[in-house]
Each structure stands twice: as structure tokens, then as C-alpha cells.
């Protein structure tokens, strides 16, 4: 592998606590709770009545009417985040080689609202021929990176990684490898998922959703919240970024992947997959556990996940775990599915740039089995050099990505 270094030069965020980097950041500093009573549909027949909807998203601000008409919401959220990231990066498309610009996206559900719309039409009319002919074309999850590539003229490799809640990290890692290998110069990478009735129903049936608020690592945590959003990064070769005088948020120095190979919906209680991913990320980055200043947790707020992740951090970091801050942004955002780790990676880049750790909100009662420093309720100014973001998913997919403050 070549020695191309990879840096983050642009960010775009569409989240339940704000659309746009600054709106997100200011809301996160205040500890805003983005999990609210649902408006997208009537949840009265469900045990859970709340979720994380993006209420300030206006598709017309980012897309033409004809594009809105032929895209599902996941693509709309992703294109909006991509537009923000590209503008933020200052990348001049007239001077770039489009064939060396890639798109790497993650998702859990793809375009589930398209499927739900088709099913509802068939259910109401009893005739599948009443489903509009353009609807099936919007459904494939591969349409998400394809729409981004088409709208912004990125003609290099593009793909979708459907590894559920770890998909954003997987997508960033793939784009990172392409740049390191010299295959491309820059890429959009991230994840997106819309609010899905299918996901909401599924997690309710699993009894995984909270009836109250999301409380990661708290003794009284009662589950996660289904949410939606998109996170996008522009990453590029360091030499190319320096040559055009780009702003650099942080450097990506490595990542690690693993798999529990345990159960579809429950993490291995021994943390095997997460331990593997975290160890690999540290080794591949050329750092030691002592170098880690902060960990952005997967932190869903479920009993088993939070306990397992605490075990993972303690197993890999050893004594260093006692003094390493660990916080969960899902306490504010809920679980944005395939967008989660992309949003969290972008947030980590902002934390490095601004030397502030975002908190775990709603934390009140310590759990003896979750005994780390979870940055409760209040952001913390501190020196941040090396930051790791964890993401785990159904089917045992595990991932950790390592960012470092750029020092030249």
C-alpha cells in the first residue's frame, strides 16, 4: 500500500438536532434531545411513540424538483449532506479529474419508504398495477451513491455498503483505502437512512426501543430510539488538499473491522468482534492505547450493547480505559441507522478541530457494569489528538475508525 495520507476537508450533516454543521454543533453543545413524539405517522398502536425525525430538512434547498420526484428520502438526505460537504471542502470541480473522485456510502435500509409506499398502494387498491412505474426504480439502495455521483459529477468508483449500523465506518474505510492505494484522489463517504416504518416496527417487536428517553450507559437505560439522518465527509489525499490550500479538520490514520459471528440481533457478551475491530484499528494506525484521548461510543442505550462496549474498551485499553472519556451521541440523536457512524465520524472531526468532547446526555445513575467516564450531560474542553469512533451492527458487524489532529 502506498503512503498517501488521507485527510477530512469537508463535512455535511442532516440530523434530528439540526441540519448543517453549525446547527448540529450548537445543538449538541447544548445537549439537545432530538428524540420526540413522532410526526411522520400515527404511532398510537406501537409500544413506543417517539423517534428521531429531521424536522428542519427542506429538500428544495438542495435539489431540483425533477430530482426530488425521482428520489427516495434516503437519497435526498444524502445529496443534501453531500452538497454541504462539497461546499465546505472548497473543492473546485472545474480543476478536479472527475474520474478520480469516488462515492462510498453506507445504509441499513436503503430506501424503505419507497417499499412502504408501494405496499400501501397495493394494500389499499388490491392491484399491484396501481403502483407508479417509476417507484421500483427509486428503491434499490445502490441508487443512493448513484444519485450523488450523477448530481455532482463524481465519475470514479461508487458503491453502497449495507452493513447496517456500522455501514458509515465501513464506507469511510473503503474510500480511505482507495485513496491510500492511489486509485482515487478524493471521495464522498458517509451514510444515510430515512425514518422507516419497517425499522420502527422491527425494533418495537424486539422490545429494543425505549419507552422514555435514551440513556446510554445509565443504570436505568431502557432501549434505543429509531431515527433518521445523513452524514457526509469529503476525504482526500493530503498532498492534493495542501496544494489547493484546503481547510483540514482531521487526518484519518486507520480503521479496523471485525465480526461477532454470534447472533443476528444480540452482541457477543464477551465483546469478541468489537475487541477485534478496536485492536485492528489501533494496530493499523500505528498507535498504542495510551495515545487514545477519546472514544465516540456506539452507545445505543440498550442493556446488552452498552455493557458489551464497556467491556470492549476495558479489555483493549486496560488501565488507560479508566481515564479515557467515552460518550454516546445517540443520547441526543437516537439511532440514525446507516447514517450513525458517518455522523459520528463527522462529529469526531469537529471535536478534534474545536478541542471539545460532546457529552452523553440523560445520564443520571451510574451502572456498576458500565464504569467508565461517559462525559455526563456537559461538554468538556480538553486536548484531543487521537480519537476513535466505534460502530457495531446487526449480524455482528463491528468497526472502529481512528482520527488524529493534523500536524503537518
Task: Note the pLDDT tens digit of each residue in 1-29.
Answer: 458 999 999 999 999 999 999 999 999 99
Instruction: Judge whether 249 and 233 are in contact, CB under 8 Å.
Output: no
| Averaged pLDDT, 253-278 | 90
The reported pLDDT for the residue numbered 395 is: 79
Instruction: Judge whether 396 and 260 are in contact, CB under 8 Å.
Output: yes
pLDDT cut 70: percent of the chain above it: 93
d(CA 176, CA 169): 10
Domain range summary for the chain, segments of one domain joined by +? 6-243, 254-404
Could you identify the residue written with the cell 443512493?
144
d(CA 175, CA 190): 10
Pick the closest to residue 373 from 316, 295, 305 (CA basis).
295
Kind and range of the H or E run holding 82: helix 73-89
Task: State yes or no: is 348 an active-site residue.
Answer: no
What CATH architecture does domain 6-243 belong to? 3-Layer(aba) Sandwich (3.40)
d(CA 393, CA 167): 8
Pick the closest to residue 160 from 337, 338, 13 (CA basis).
338
Three-class secondary structure of residue 294 per DSSP: strand
Residue 110's pLDDT band (cuts 50, 70, 90): confident
Q: Do domains 6-243 and 254-404 have the same CATH topology?
A: yes
Question: What number of CA atoms fall less than 13 Å from residue 256's CA on the CB side?
Answer: 22
Chain segment 128-159, per-residue pLDDT in tens: 665 666 666 666 778 899 999 999 999 999 99
At 90, list the grid cell. 472548497
Could you identify the residue written with the cell 425499522?
199
Task: Kindly state the DSSP code that residue 222 receives in the 8-state scheme.
Answer: -
Chain segment 293-313, per-residue pLDDT in tens: 999 999 999 999 999 999 999
Task: State yes or no: is 158 an active-site residue.
Answer: no
Catalytic annotation, pick one of 165, 189, 259, 348: 165
d(CA 408, CA 399): 27
Q: How do strand 101-106 and strand 50-51 relate by DSSP bridges?
A: unpaired
Catalytic annotation, pick one of 158, 189, 296, 298: 298
Return the CA Rg of the chain.
20
Catalytic annotation, pick one of 141, 335, 348, 370: 335
Chain segment 250-263, per-residue pLDDT in tens: 999 999 999 988 87
At 180, list the grid cell. 491510500
Task: State yes or no: is 165 an active-site residue.
Answer: yes
Does the 254-404 domain belong in CATH 3.30.70.260?
Answer: no
d(CA 126, CA 175): 44
The reported pLDDT for the residue numbered 69 is: 86
Pick the closest to residue 81 from 139, 23, 15, 33 (CA basis).
15
Burial of residue 361, with CB atoms counted within 10 A of its CB: 0-12 exposed, 13-18 middle, 19 or more buried: buried
Amino acid at each position: 500500500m502506498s503512503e498517501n495520507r488521507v485527510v477530512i476537508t469537508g463535512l455535511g450533516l442532516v440530523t434530528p438536532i439540526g441540519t448543517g454543521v453549525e446547527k448540529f454543533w450548537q445543538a449538541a453543545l447544548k445537549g439537545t434531545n432530538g428524540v420526540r413524539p413522532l410526526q411522520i405517522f400515527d404511532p398510537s398502536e406501537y409500544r413506543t411513540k417517539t423517534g428521531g425525525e429531521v424536522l428542519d430538512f427542506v429538500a428544495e434547498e438542495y435539489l431540483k424538483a425533477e430530482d426530488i420526484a425521482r428520489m427516495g428520502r434516503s437519497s435526498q438526505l444524502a445529496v443534501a449532506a453531500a452538497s454541504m460537504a462539497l461546499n465546505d471542502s472548497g473543492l473546485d470541480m472545474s480543476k478536479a479529474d472527475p474520474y478520480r473522485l469516488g462515492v462510498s456510502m453506507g445504509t441499513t435500509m436503503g430506501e424503505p419508504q419507497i417499499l412502504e409506499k408501494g405496499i400501501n398502494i397495493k394494500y389499499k387498491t388490491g392491484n399491484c398495477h396501481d403502483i407508479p412505474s417509476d417507484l421500483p426504480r427509486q428503491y434499490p439502495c445502490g441508487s443512493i451513491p448513484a444519485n450523488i455521483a450523477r448530481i455532482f459529477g463524481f465519475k470514479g468508483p461508487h458503491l453502497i455498503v449495507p452493513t447496517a449500523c456500522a455501514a458509515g465506518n465501513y464506507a469511510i474505510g473503503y474510500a480511505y483505502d482507495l485513496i491510500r492505494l492511489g486509485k482515487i484522489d478524493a471521495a464522498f463517504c458517509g451514510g444515510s437512512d430515512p425514518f422507516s416504518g419497517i425499522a420502527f416496527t422491527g425494533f418495537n417487536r424486539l422490545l429494543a426501543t425505549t419507552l422514555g428517553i435514551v440513556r446510554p450507559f445509565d443504570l436505568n437505560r431502557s432501549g434505543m430510539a429509531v431515527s433518521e439522518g445523513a452524514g457526509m465527509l469529503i476525504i482526500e489525499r493530503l498532498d492534493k488538499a495542501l496544494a489547493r490550500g484546503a481547510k483540514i479538520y482531521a487526518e484519518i490514520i486507520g480503521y479496523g473491522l471485525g465480526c461477532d459471528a454470534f447472533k443476528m440481533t444480540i452482541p457477543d457478551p464477551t465483546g469478541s468482534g468489537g475487541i477485534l475491530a478496536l485492536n485492528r484499528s489501533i494496530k493499523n494506525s500505528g498507535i498504542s492505547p495510551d495515545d487514545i484521548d477519546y472514544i465516540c461510543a456506539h452507545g445505543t442505550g440498550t442493556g446488552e450493547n452498552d455493557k458489551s462496549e464497556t467491556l470492549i474498551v476495558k479489555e483493549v485499553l486496560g488501565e488507560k480505559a479508566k481515564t479515557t472519556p467515552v460518550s454516546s451521541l445517540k443520547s441526543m440523536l437516537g439511532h440514525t441507522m446507516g447514517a450513525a457512524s458517518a455522523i459520528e465520524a463527522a462529529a469526531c472531526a469537529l471535536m478534534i478541530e474545536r478541542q471539545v468532547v460532546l457529552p452523553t446526555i440523560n445520564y443520571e445513575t451510574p451502572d456498576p457494569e458500565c464504569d467508565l467516564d461517559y462525559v455526563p450531560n456537559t461538554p468538556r474542553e480538553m486536548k484531543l489528538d487521537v480519537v476513535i469512533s466505534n460502530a457495531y451492527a446487526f449480524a455482528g458487524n463491528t468497526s472502529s475508525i481512528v482520527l488524529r489532529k493534523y500536524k503537518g
